[in-house]
């Protein structure tokens, strides 16, 4: 009897997912009729129905439901990436090389060159109009275009780094490195921690800091993708930018713990706890601050462009996400392009207030006409994407190692920079 | 006598031969699946790693040629000495601390049980809770505790006590010990379970005899308990050494290997080479190095294992 009950319970448990698949809705795993003759496997980040924010999750569910409703005969299976993006992207590249990649996937813009170089992506050119492609910002268009002139992904969102400050403690926006140091020291005198930034073993450490190098006109790699940041003028600019961060820590303008920070959430936490009045963060954090701060506290916070060695030598790093197709089936490639267009190119930007990559969307979508988003759009004018070189991830890794040594005072800046350059050059030789 | 034995034994030997001939065809179907599973899921990846170690394969390209240059280049990398030193400090400290603490907790629990004290099960369960926490989660928990922000876990407690905050993760000289502490917290339970089982297996008659001989508690520990635990301690040391050498999940979520390379152990370095640098061949050489270190240490421990007649 007990065995029979157990068998029935097991059968019922096994049937549960089947009934969930049977619904014509996005369940978090699958959308569309289960008997649909075609199926598209899409691997996504949290930019989808499984977003931790229930409002965004619901918004994405609606978009995906509308998408499957528009494409009769198709079912979409959703796969979720973990938070370790570098590892996820490397694994996906390995899967693609062995022919086991999903049909369609979110590819981080900074590893897109690797995917393009390895020849695993399918061309999107037949599925996007010239007018749509022409509307892309130039650095975005360059990023998705292959050596043959075809586009191999649709880069739908971008972001940038800005300097957040509590205006009650720091009324004026620092525009230069010196002003930033003075403002941070003034905040320390008022009981704050000083300026916070990523300084741990984390991609954000490299990317947020690179603006200080780029602002001076520094170049990480040459046209062939070979590291050159440790040679000639580039080396001088590089060391100058590293010493800016080093000086912030050694002068007390930044706490030593910046060498351990590898997460933008730490800045939100410090803002919420009222322990910091100045941090280098991403544009998306403005919306996050709205949720973690009381309205009267939020009113004290604003942002400005990242400072440079002089007012005229400023830059900011721009990243973002793309959608790309791995499938060799043209119908699935087209469906992937449709998904990029109908869900991500515009609707998802609006839903998540993620900056669009098409210039016309800043007027098409009302939300991007707000003062905040206009200011972000203005800062994008000095934006710079990470170099489209396969060696970039290793350069970034070496910069993170170098930054840890410098910020903790474990090694002289010159020596640490030279080590990073030597290791990056060696990695280039092997790729 | 000899002749009689010989005639007596012949039919038995013949019977055995017949039996083995009869059984032989039936052994293969049972053993073959095991050989296939072992070969496919264990040996093939090892051979593949060996093959990759003698190539110049990355995630982007593999020219298919074989070379010794990857092996030589990898083993002569300037950072490798520091990585191995960090790995040694991390592994040795963790293994010694886990072994000692595991033994102490097991002794306390066994003694408590012997006296019928309340709470011994709670102590065992509490220690096991840390063990079942996944490495990544353990790293995040300790990251929150070691957070050096004014609202960080341990520093907040220190401030309440009037003590100065500690740079748990940003001081390059201290960060390794913070990482060891988090690893010992997680790994002690395993040693405790092994030591507990071994302690329960010691014949109580030995303690009775020692008491009759007038041995005090310290003498009973040194001359009865520890010699009886020798095999269990060595087996435990082998297991936790290999386990610690392979640990990288807790470190990657706690420090990412930083600041700089201060906590970058060999397993994490290998992970970074493959997943950040996309270099499969260098990753393969480092994996073989890890395998060699694990096997070497296991052999060293095995030498000290008591033999069957001891």
> What pLDDT is recorded for position B59?
83
Q: How many CB pairs under 8 A join A and B?
A: 117
Residue B21 has pLDDT above 90, yes or no: no
pLDDT band at A12 (very low <50, low <70, confident <90, very high): very low
Taking residues B250-270, report their average pLDDT: 94
> A144 and A117 in contact (C-beta within 8 Å)?
no
For the segment B292-302, the average pLDDT, to the nearest whole number, is: 89
Task: With beta carbons less than 8 A apart as the criterion, state whether B46 and B290 touch.
Answer: no
Mean pLDDT, chain A, as a whole number? 89
Residues of chain B positioned with their CB less than 8 A from the CB of A263:
none
pLDDT for the residue A422: 95
Three-class secondary structure assignment of chain B: CHHHHHHHHHHHHHHHHHHHHHHHHHHHHHHHHHHHHHHHHHHHHHHHHHHHHCCCCECCCCCCCCCCHHHHHHHCCCCHHHHHHHHHHHHHHHHHHHHHHHHHHHHHHHHHHHCCCCCHHHHHHHHHHHHHCCHHHHHHHHHHHHCCCCCCHHHHHHHHCCCCCCCCCCCCCCHHHHHHHHHHHHHHHHHHHHHHHHHHCCCHHHHHHHHHCCCCHHHHHHHHHHHHHHHHHHHHHHHHHHHHHCCCHHHHHHCCCCCCCCCCCHHHHHHHHHHCCCEHHHHHHHHHHHHHHHHHHHHHHHHHCCCCCC
Per-residue pLDDT, A383: 85
Topology of domain B77-304 in CATH is MetI-like fold (1.10.3720)
Positive or negative, the Cα torsion across B176, B280, A114, A341? negative
Q: Residues, chain B, total?
A: 310
Chain A neighbors of B173, CB-CB under 8 A: none
Token output for B15 = 């019977």
Q: Does A40 contact chain B (CB < 8 Å)? A: no
d(CA B310, CA B306): 6
Does domain A162-317+390-430 fall under CATH 3.40.50.300? My reply is no
Q: How confident is the model at residue B196 (pLDDT cuts 50, 70, 90)?
A: very high
Confidence category of residue A380, pLDDT binned at 50, 70, 90? confident
Q: Between A87, A90, A269, which is nearest B59 by CB?
A: A90
Residues A139-164 pLDDT 10s: 889 889 999 999 999 999 999 999 99
Q: By the CB < 8 Å criterion, does A85 face chain B?
A: no
Q: What does the pLDDT average to over A345-364?
A: 90
Residue of A nearest to B282 (CA): A430
Q: What gap in Å lies between CA B249 and CA B242, rounded to an integer?
A: 15
Which pTM value belongs to this model?
A: 0.83
Residue A358 has pLDDT above 60, yes or no: yes
Q: What is the pLDDT of residues B113-147, one digit of tens each?
A: 988 888 888 888 887 888 888 888 999 999 999 99
pLDDT at B23: 56
Give mean pLDDT, residues A75-92. Answer: 87
Question: In the predicted model, is pLDDT for residue A18 greater than 60?
Answer: no
Inter-chain contact A259–B274, Cβ cutoff 8 Å?
no
Which A-chain residues 149-188 have CB contacts (< 8 A) with chain B?
Answer: none
On whether any CB of chain B is under 8 Å from the CB of A87, the answer is: yes
Domain boundaries, chain A: 2-155+320-382, 162-317+390-430
pLDDT the model gives residue A13? 39
Position B135 scores a pLDDT of 86
Residue of chain B nearest A114, judged by CA positions: B60
Residue range A366-393: mean pLDDT, rounded: 85
Q: Looking at chain A, which residue has its C-alpha nearest residue B251?
A: A201
Evaluate if residue A293 carries a pLDDT over 90.
yes
- pLDDT tens sequence across A365-378: 888 888 888 888 88
User: ipTM of the assembly?
Assistant: 0.82
| pLDDT value of residue A25 | 43
The answer to whether domain A2-155+320-382 and domain A162-317+390-430 are alike in fold is yes
Say which DSSP state A369 is in.
G
**Is residue B264 pLDDT above 70, yes or no?**
yes
Q: Which residues of B touch A258 (CB under 8 A)?
A: 170
Mean pLDDT in residue range A59-83: 92
Q: Which residue has the tokens 């292959």?
A: A146
What pLDDT digit, counting tens, does each position of A170-184 carry? Answer: 999 999 999 999 999
* CATH number of the domain located at residue range(s) A2-155+320-382 in this protein: 3.40.190.10
Segment B44-51 shows an average pLDDT of 91
Q: Where are the domains of chain B?
A: 14-71, 77-304
- Out of A93, A200, A394, whose CB is closest to B277? A394
Q: Which residues of A touch B56 (CB under 8 A)?
A: 430
B80-112 pLDDT, tens per residue?
A: 999 999 999 999 999 999 999 999 999 999 999
């Amino acid at each position: 009897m007990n065995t029979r009950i157990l068998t029935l319970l097991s059968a019922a448990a096994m049937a549960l997912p089947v009934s969930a698949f049977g619904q014509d809705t996005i369940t978090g795993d699958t959308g569309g009729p289960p008997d649909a003759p075609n199926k598209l496997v899409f691997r996504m980040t949290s930019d989808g129905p499984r977003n931790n924010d229930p409002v965004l999750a619901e918004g994405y569910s609606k978009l995906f439901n509308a998408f499957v409703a528009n494409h009769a005969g198709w079912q979409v299976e959703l796969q979720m990436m973990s938070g370790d993006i570098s590892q996820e992207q490397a694994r996906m590249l390995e899967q693609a090389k062995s022919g086991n990649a999903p049909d369609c996937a979110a590819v981080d813009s900074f590893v897109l060159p690797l995917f393009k170089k390895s020849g695993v992506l399918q061309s999107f050119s037949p599925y996007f109009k010239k007018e749509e492609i022409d509307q892309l910002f130039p650095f975005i268009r360059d990023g998705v275009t292959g050596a043959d002139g075809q586009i191999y992904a649709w880069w739908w969102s971008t972001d940038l780094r800005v300097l957040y400050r509590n205006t009650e403690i720091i009324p004026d926006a620092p525009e230069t490195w010196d002003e930033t140091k003075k403002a941070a020291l003034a905040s320390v005198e008022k009981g704050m921690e000083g300026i916070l930034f990523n300084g741990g073993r984390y991609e954000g450490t490299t990317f947020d800091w690179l603006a200080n190098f780029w602002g001076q006109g520094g170049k990480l790699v040459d046209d062939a993708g070979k590291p050159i940041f440790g040679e000639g003028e580039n080396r001088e600019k590089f060391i100058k930018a590293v010493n800016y961060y080093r000086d912030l820590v050694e002068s007390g303008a930044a706490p030593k713990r910046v060498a351990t920070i590898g997460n933008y959430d730490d800045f939100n936490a410090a803002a919420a706890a009222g322990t910091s009045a100045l941090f280098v963060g991403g544009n998306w954090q403005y919306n996050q601050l709205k949720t973690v701060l009381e309205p009267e506290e939020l009113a004290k916070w604003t942002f400005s462009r990242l400072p440079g060695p002089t007012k005229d030598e400023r830059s900011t790093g721009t990243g973002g996400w793309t959608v790309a197709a791995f499938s060799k089936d043209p119908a699935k490639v087209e469906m992937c392009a449709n998904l990029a267009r109908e869900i991500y190119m515009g609707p998802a930007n609006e839903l998540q207030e993620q900056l669009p990559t098409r210039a016309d969307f800043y007027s098409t979508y009302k939300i991007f006409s707000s003062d905040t988003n206009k200011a972000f759009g203005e800062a994008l004018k000095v934006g710079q994407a990470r170099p489209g070189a396969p060696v970039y991830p290793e350069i970034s890794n070496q910069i993170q190692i170098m930054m840890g040594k410098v910020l903790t005072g474990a090694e002289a800046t010159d020596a640490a920079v030279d080590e990073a350059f030597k290791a990056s050059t060696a990695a280039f030789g092997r790729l | 006598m000899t002749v009689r034995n010989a005639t007596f034994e012949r039919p038995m030997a013949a019977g055995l031969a017949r039996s083995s001939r009869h059984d032989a065809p039936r052994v293969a179907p049972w053993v073959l699946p095991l050989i296939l599973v072992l070969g496919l899921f264990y040996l093939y990846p090892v051979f593949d790693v060996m093959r990759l170690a003698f190539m110049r394969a990355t995630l982007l390209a593999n020219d298919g040629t074989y070379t010794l240059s990857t092996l030589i280049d990898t083993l002569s990398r300037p950072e490798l000495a520091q990585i191995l030193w960090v790995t040694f400090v991390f592994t040795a400290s963790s293994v010694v601390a886990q072994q000692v603490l595991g033994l102490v907790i097991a002794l306390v629990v066994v003694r408590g049980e012997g006296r019928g004290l309340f709470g011994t099960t709670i102590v065992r369960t509490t220690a096991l809770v840390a063990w079942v926490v996944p490495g990544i989660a353990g790293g995040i928990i300790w990251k929150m505790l070691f957070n050096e922000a004014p609202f960080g876990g341990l520093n907040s407690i220190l401030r309440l006590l009037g003590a100065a905050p500690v740079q748990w993760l940003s001081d390059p000289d201290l960060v390794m010990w913070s990482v060891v502490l988090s690893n010992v917290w997680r790994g002690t339970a395993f040693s405790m379970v092994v030591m507990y089982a071994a302690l329960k297996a010691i014949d109580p008659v030995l303690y009775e005899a020692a008491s009759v001989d007038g041995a005090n508690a310290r003498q009973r520990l040194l001359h009865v308990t520890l010699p009886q635990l020798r095999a269990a301690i060595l087996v435990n040391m082998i297991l936790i050494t290999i386990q610690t050498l392979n640990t990288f999940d807790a470190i990657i979520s706690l420090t990412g290997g930083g600041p700089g390379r201060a906590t970058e152990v060999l397993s994490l370095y290998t992970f970074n080479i493959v997943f950040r640098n996309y270099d499969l061949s260098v990753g393969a050489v480092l994996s073989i190095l890890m395998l060699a270190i694990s096997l070497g240490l296991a052999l060293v421990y095995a030498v000290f294992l008591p033999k069957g007649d001891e």
